[in-house]
C-alpha cells in the first residue's frame, strides 16, 4: 500500500527553487482540519482544552495555528516556557509537566502563572522551597504501575516508566498539598505511547476517572481537571487504520457520564496533551538522492541524515518513503536509504522495496511533523535544516531558516577562536 504525500512533485520542484533540500515541510490545511476535528470531538465537555506538546514541534508559527483553535501549550523545559510566553500563551494556557526539574524552571512556570504538574511526591517540598509557596491550582502525575492492557493486548509497561507517582503517593500528595493551601487539583497520566486504536483513550479515561473519584472521597479535594495526556498515535505504516478522534471523544464521554457524573463530578474539565496526533502526519522531510552505492547491498544516499530525522536511527522507527513522480511505478528495487553520518544506524530505511531511484530524485519521508526536526542534533558538525509551511493558498513560507556554520560555532563567541570561526563562516557559507 502507498501513502499519498500532501504535496505534489510539481509543487516541490517549485519550492526547492527557493528553499534547497533538505527541509521539513508542513501542511497548514491538514493541521487546521485536524485541530478543528479534535475540538469538535470533545465539545461535549465545556472545560475541554488541548495543551499541545511543545517538545513535539517547537515552532511558534505552527503553534500559533493551533492557538487559533483554543490550544494551549504543554511545556517541559525553561525554553519551552519562554517560547509559549513569547507567542502569547498566558497563565493556565500553559501546562508545565516536567521531571527531575531544576528549581529555576519551577520559578519561571510560577511567574508565568502556568499550571504545574508534579511528577513526584518529593517535588512538593522542592517546589515550595523554589517558589516560596504552593499554587492554589496544582496537578500530580499518576503511574499505576504494572502493564496497561486493552483486552489481551499489552499496550505499554507504565511500571517501567520513570514518570509519575504510585497510588499511595498521589493520595498522600493530595493530602499534603491541600494542607499547604492548594484548592484546585488535577490528575495527569500517560500510560501508553503511539497507540493506533480508538480504545486507548476511553480505557485510560476509565482508570483516571475511577482514580479521581477515589481521591475525592479519600482526601476531600476538589478535582478541577483530568489530563489524559498524549498517547494517541498515527498510522506510520500505510496498512494501518488511523484513529478516529470523534469515536475516541465519544468513548471518553461515555466513561465520563458513567463514572464521574454519578459521583457528583460532572464539572471536571478534560484536558489532552497531544503532540504526535496534532502534527506528525502534516509534516514530511523532503530530501534528494545524491549518491548510489552497489556493494553487499544497494544503497541510496540522500542529502539529509539522522540530524534531520532521528527516529529511524534511534528506535528503528518506520517512516514511509515516496519517490516523487514514481508513485505508480513498481516497487521492485530493494534499498537502504542512508545519510552521511559516521554511524551505521544513519538509515531512513533498511531493505525497503521502492521504485528505481535515480540521482536527483526527490524523496518525501512521511510523518515527520512531530518528533522530527525537534529531535535533531549536530553530530559530525551537521547543521539542522529549514522548516517550511505549505500554506492553504499553495504558497510556501519559511518558518525557520536552516542553520549555518556561524550557528554551530556561536557558543564559542566568548573566545577569540570562536569569533574568528564565526567571521570566517559568514564569509564562505552560502
The residues annotated as belonging to the active site are 342
Question: What DSSP state is assigned to residue 223?
Answer: E
CA distances from 226 to 109, 213, 246, 273, 426 (A): 20, 11, 19, 11, 50
Helix, strand or coil for residue 294? strand
Report the distance separating Cα 96 and Cα 73, nearest Å. 8
Report the distance separating Cα 157 and Cα 418, nearest Å. 46
Report the distance separating Cα 96 and Cα 54, nearest Å. 11
Question: What DSSP state is assigned to residue 411?
Answer: G
Residue 14, φ and ψ in degrees, nearest 5: -70, -45
Closest C-alpha among 368, 281, 336, 391 to residue 22: 368
Closest C-alpha among 244, 294, 281 to residue 7: 281
CA distances from 393 to 16, 28, 223, 232, 389 (A): 18, 9, 44, 29, 11
Report the distance separating Cα 410 and Cα 419, nearest Å. 8
Ramachandran region, residue 325 (left: φ > 0; alpha: ψ -120 to 50; beta: rest): left
CA distances from 127 to 188, 189, 391, 405 (A): 18, 20, 43, 40
Report the distance separating Cα 124 and Cα 292, nearest Å. 57
CA 172 to chain centre: 31
What is the residue-wise DSSP string for 146-163? S-EEETTEEEE-GGG-S-
Strands 23-27 and 386-390: parallel
Query: Do residues 412 and 421 lie in contact, with contact meaning Cβ atoms separated by under 8 Å?
Result: yes
Amino acid at each position: 500500500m502507498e501513502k499519498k504525500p500532501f504535496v505534489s512533485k510539481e509543487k516541490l520542484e517549485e519550492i526547492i527553487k527557493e528553499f534547497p533540500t533538505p527541509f521539513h515541510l508542513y501542511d497548514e490545511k491538514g493541521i487546521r482540519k485536524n485541530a478543528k476535528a479534535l475540538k469538535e470531538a470533545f465539545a461535549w465537555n465545556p472545560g475541554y482544552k488541548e495543551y499541545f506538546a511543545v517538545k513535539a514541534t517547537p515552532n511558534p508559527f505552527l503553534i500559533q495555528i493551533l492557538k487559533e483553535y483554543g490550544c494551549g501549550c504543554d511545556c517541559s523545559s525553561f525554553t519551552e516556557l519562554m517560547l509559549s510566553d513569547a507567542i502569547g500563551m498566558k497563565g493556565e494556557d500553559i501546562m508545565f509537566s516536567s521531571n527531575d526539574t531544576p528549581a529555576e524552571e519551577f520559578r519561571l512556570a510560577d511567574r508565568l502563572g502556568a499550571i504545574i504538574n508534579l511528577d513526584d511526591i518529593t517535588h512538593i517540598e522542592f517546589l515550595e522551597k523554589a517558589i516560596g509557596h504552593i499554587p492554589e491550582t496544582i496537578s500530580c502525575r499518576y503511574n499505576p504501575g504494572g502493564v496497561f492492557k486493552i483486552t489481551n493486548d499489552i499496550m505499554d509497561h507504565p511500571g517501567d516508566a520513570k514518570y509519575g507517582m504510585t497510588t499511595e503517593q498521589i493520595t498522600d500528595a493530595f493530602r499534603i498539598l491541600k494542607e499547604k493551601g492548594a484548592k484546585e487539583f488535577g490528575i495527569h497520566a500517560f500510560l501508553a505511547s503511539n497507540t493506533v486504536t480508538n480504545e486507548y483513550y476511553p480505557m485510560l479515561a476509565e482508570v483516571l476517572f475511577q482514580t479521581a473519584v477515589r481521591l475525592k472521597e479519600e482526601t476531600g479535594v476538589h478535582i478541577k481537571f483530568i489530563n489524559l495526556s498524549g498517547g494517541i498515535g498515527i498510522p506510520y505504516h500505510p496498512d494501518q487504520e488511523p484513529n478516529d478522534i470523534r469515536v475516541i471523544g465519544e468513548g471518553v464521554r461515555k466513561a465520563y457520564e458513567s463514572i464521574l457524573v454519578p459521583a457528583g463530578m460532572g464539572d471536571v474539565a478534560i484536558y489532552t496533551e497531544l503532540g504526535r496526533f496534532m502534527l506528525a502526519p502534516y509534516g514530511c522531510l523532503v530530501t534528494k538522492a545524491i549518491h548510489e552505492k552497489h556493494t553487499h547491498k544497494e544503497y541510496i544516499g540522500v542529502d539529509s541524515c539522522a540530524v534531520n530525522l532521528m527516529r529511524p536511527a534511534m528506535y528503528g522507527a518506520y517512516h514511509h518513503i515516496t519517490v516523487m513522480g514514481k508513485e505508480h511505478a513498481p516497487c521492485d528495487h530493494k534499498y537502504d536509504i542512508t545519510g552521511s553520518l559516521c554511524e551505521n544506524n544513519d538509515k531512513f530505511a533498511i531493505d525497503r522495496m521502492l521504485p528505481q531511484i535515480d540521482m536527483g530524485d526527490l524523496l518525501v519521508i512521511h510523518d515527520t511533523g512531530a518528533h522530527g526536526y525537534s529531535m535533531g542534533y549536530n553530530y559530525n558538525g551537521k547543521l539542522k535544516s529549514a522548516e517550511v509551511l505549505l500554506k492553504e493558498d499553495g504558497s510556501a513560507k519559511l518558518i525557520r531558516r536552516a542553520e549555518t556554520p556561524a550557528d554551530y560555532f556561536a557558543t564559542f563567541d566568548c573566545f577569540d577562536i570562536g569569533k574568528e570561526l564565526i567571521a570566517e563562516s559568514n564569509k564562505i557559507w552560502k
